[in-house]
Chains A and B, each alone.
Chain A
């Protein structure tokens, strides 16, 4: 049957993926540390009917030829690591990273995951954990009865114990950075995992060598811009519609063809 039907169908499928990605961005507009994604498309192979530059006569050449495109395919759904807005919470266990870097988390299976969501909690033993209960790496334990917890820009965690005038350091948060953060694998629950394309994690001290500083009492909100997403949704929806028109045009022409010879 005719190629145009399938070509237009690839266009509709692409726009569907586009809307799926936008819907996920919008659904996560209030998710701490969420990074928006964007669908990236590529044109498919071209079917060369007449080669450009092939000889037309012995002395002249076909200048443009005929290359029919066969549609579109999704190339990637790319995560955009733009900084999200900071929300002040005044909660001492909320930490935001301003700039590059991820907190390291040890999962129950022993693997390491990475997150930008710094809304930490304490578990029954006083260790700093994520909302899911996964322990931070390096592990930091807050002694019982601590009166105040301070997390410095460089990740130093200190506590003031009752009856002591001077705060004592109980640990240091380390952040990790990747050559290609867009290559990290999203595992859900705000967690990312290292992959071959992300490169290995480089560990460092927040605020030094290009690692982002930490800010206590702040949370990094998602970097989704609702207006941008809505505009993208409108254009996506229209593009879907217009591709469906191409399907019906192809159908119409097929009907005309089958009507021949009656």
Chain B
């Protein structure tokens, strides 16, 4: 049998995966601190001259999704509990299963006045941060002042390998086996009264959609052609 048809089908599956990633990005166009997923496909290893490549390329095996950690657009809100990170850093929250990283800085307070992000308490340098009555000022370096008094400093960390972070939903990232570290001095700055929007580019996504659709059609067309060849081989070869 012709193995090429499986190769074409595998291309179709990888196009489907790409569509899913784009659909998820677009669905999260309004999610604060969302990082887009990017579809990456490595090229097949070229067959060396004089050799015959026997393995059939399967595009899906060379496809993977990686998180695009580029900066999202910063939108001013004027709300004193909104904080946007500029640069490669993350807030640390106490998740249900341990420490989690997030870029989602539209904080709120819980009933006891703890600073929370998406319902999870945010870590400061010396433990969780409690906000009482009065004004809240958050400096570029994360120092939180409540009614003029320093009540803590937002913990902002960087990781050695961002691509190793695992996405968990709720704009949270799990550390895996990495240890978070202090970001380089000056690399990260915080802006109070602003939020970082999703880093989803509508143009890129729409072009990606069209490309994916056409690519899928091409793979399916190839499958159909290969099927045609197969049919002819079966019915026509040997006919005199």
Contacts and interface: CB of A to CB of B under 8 A. Distances in A.
Interface of A: 2-5, 7-8, 10-11, 14-15, 18, 38-46, 49-50, 52-53, 62-72, 75-76, 78, 80, 82, 100, 177, 179-180, 182-183, 196-199, 202, 209-211, 235-236, 238-239, 242-243, 245-246, 249-250, 252-253, 256-257, 259-261
Given A179-B111, A210-B133, 11 more contacts: A4-B23, A10-B27, A44-B169, A71-B27, A76-B108, A242-B206, A243-B26, A246-B19, A250-B19, A256-B220, A260-B224
Interface of B: 12, 15-17, 19-32, 34, 37, 40, 63-67, 77-79, 106, 108-113, 118-119, 132-134, 147, 163-171, 176-177, 202, 205-206, 209-210, 212-213, 216-217, 220, 223-224, 227
Interface of A is mostly: mixed
Contacts of A236: 30
Contacts of B171: 42-43
A197 B216 CA distance: 49
Nearest to B104: A42
Given A43-B28, A71-B27, A3 B167 contact: no
Given A42-B171, A68-B20, A69-B24, A257 B31 contact: no
A180 B113 contact: yes
A78 B107 CA distance: 10
Interface of B is mostly: mixed
Contacts of A15: 29-30
A183 B216 contact: no
B26 A242 contact: yes
Contacts of A196: 111
- What are the 3 tightest A-B residue pairs by CB atom distance, in nearest-first order? A11-B27, A69-B24, A210-B133
Contacts of B27: 7-8, 10-11, 14, 69, 71-72, 243, 246
A199 B79 contact: no
A71 B170 contact: no
Contacts of B167: 43, 46, 67, 69
B64 A43 contact: no
Given A78-B106, A250-B23, A179 B113 contact: yes
A64 B163 contact: yes
